[in-house]
Amino acid sequence: MTCAIDIGNSTIGFAFLKEGRLERVCKIENELASELVRVKLANFLESAADRYSLKRVVICSVVPEVLKKLSARIVKAWGLRPVVVGRDVKIPIKNRYQSPRQVGKDRLLCAFAARELYGAPAVVIDLGTAITFDGVSPAGDYLGGAIIPGLRLSAEALFEKTALLPRVHIAEPRKVIGATTEESIQSGLFHGYGSLCDGMVVRLGEEMKCRPKVVMTGGNALVMRRFMKHAVMAVDEDLIFKGMSLLVA
């Protein structure tokens, strides 16, 4: 049994894989400075050790400090030294970024997984704390892409940087024309970001000079898919875990 761990800016995702198949996925808050989260993590690691016969741990992280702390806890709880993506195992995709080291390992790993599972050319849309768009060329190379704030970041920015706009619950709007301030913000978030995704897919395809397959992932992928008009080949919320599984297979 392999445990694949995705350390993101907002959450830490754990997936348990057996012979490449995902058996369980769960997430906790990425707040290891919080006593409540530390206790929750300790309980989780203990229960996982009891439940699974773990042979290997692989981690993809975009938060170096959390990677360091979590790795130490895993060694102590499970007696396993994690394999870290980008440090201990390389992602086998040609990286055409101007400064390759600047690319987040999560972006590169999802591009690799999309290519292997769904083919190239492709555009990968990852809807997390930030929303990223990444292009995979017809030859299967990683090209780069675009980054924008995610839904929650945008909603929080409106609340924090304006005098009168309220903090809103992230919920799907019933219609495009909001009849209240809350409905208007929700419409802007979902219909606005849906249209943005459609437009970015078109523009990326034009620049790539092809019609790429569209693969969506991340916590908001299933919801946002409903607000897009462009054809989406796959919505795969576990794409990053599948990428890690491919790396260590």
The residues that are catalytic are 106
239 burial via Cβ count (<10 Å: 0-12, 13-18, 19+): buried
| Three-state secondary structure of 100-116 | HHHCCHHHHHHHHHHHH
Smallest Cα–Cα separation from 125: which of 23, 209, 225? Answer: 225
Residue 105's Cβ-side half-sphere holds a number of Cα atoms within 13 Å equal to 25
Residue 210's Cβ-side half-sphere holds a number of Cα atoms within 13 Å equal to 14
Distant-in-sequence, close-in-space partners of 22: CB < 8 Å, separation ≥ 6? 15, 16, 238, 241, 242, 245
